[in-house]
Amino acid sequence: MVPLYAVVLSLMGAAVSMTRRVPEFQRRLSPGDPEYITYDQARERLVFQIMQVVSAPLIVLTAYYLVNPESRSSTILLSFASGFSSETVLLLIRATLDKLTPAPAAPPKLPDVRVVPARLDFGNVPVAQASKKPVVVMNSGTAELVISALACTGEFSAVTPVPVKVVPGSSGSVELEFKPTNQGPKQGQLTITDSMPGSPRIVDLAGTGT
């Protein structure tokens, strides 16, 4: 059984360690200090110091049964040292737990090819007149993107000739045309066939003949 004075001495050792740290935190709150910390950081460190005082009896209990001191003087030394070093013990435990914590999941990788916009609306266009708008193809991959085919449905058509080449880290545009034959809303699709994974790519098209 752990003597009561061992618990008291561990609390005393932890308190001495805390009183040694608190003035340091106060000094580092000064903006001119090279080791400046914010008030939030100082509060976090102070809470940690309080926790190391509270944890001192548990640490000395473990140390007592591991070492099993044979004399009173050894028990006194062990108790005070356990309390004084409780901060170090807690830091080691926290570092070990941080290593055991699973690493955060890597952010999802963006596709190498993006087409903007995913839906292109030409708005109101007079019958038998043509309106042209671009679709931008962005290549964030490491290989050249080659657009080999452009196909449109409905009353839409691709004006840009193929092939279209887009070097890595840049973008290219594909021009489309909407020429309504009569009044009313129109729907269609653009199909982009290229050399990168994910091909073909679909862009929804819309417009209204007026």
Angle at which helix 86-100 crosses helix 39-67, to 10 degrees, equals 100
Which of the two residues, 22 and 136, has the higher pLDDT score? 136
Chain-centroid distance, C-alpha 4: 49
Which range has highest mean pLDDT (31-45, 80-94, 173-187)? 173-187
Which residues have C-beta within 8 Å of that of residue 159, sequence separation ≥ 6? 132, 175, 176, 177
Gap between the Cα atoms of 36 and 39, Å rounded: 10
Query: 171 by DSSP, 3-state: which?
Result: strand
Domain definitions of the chain by residue range: 4-100, 113-209
Whether pLDDT at 107 is above 70 = no
- CATH class of the region 113-209: mainly beta
In this prediction, residue 111 has a pLDDT band, given cuts at 50, 70 and 90, of: low
Beta strands (DSSP E) in the chain are: 113-116, 119-125, 131-139, 145-152, 156-158, 164-166, 170-178, 184-194, 201-209
Amino acid, single-letter form, for residue 197: P
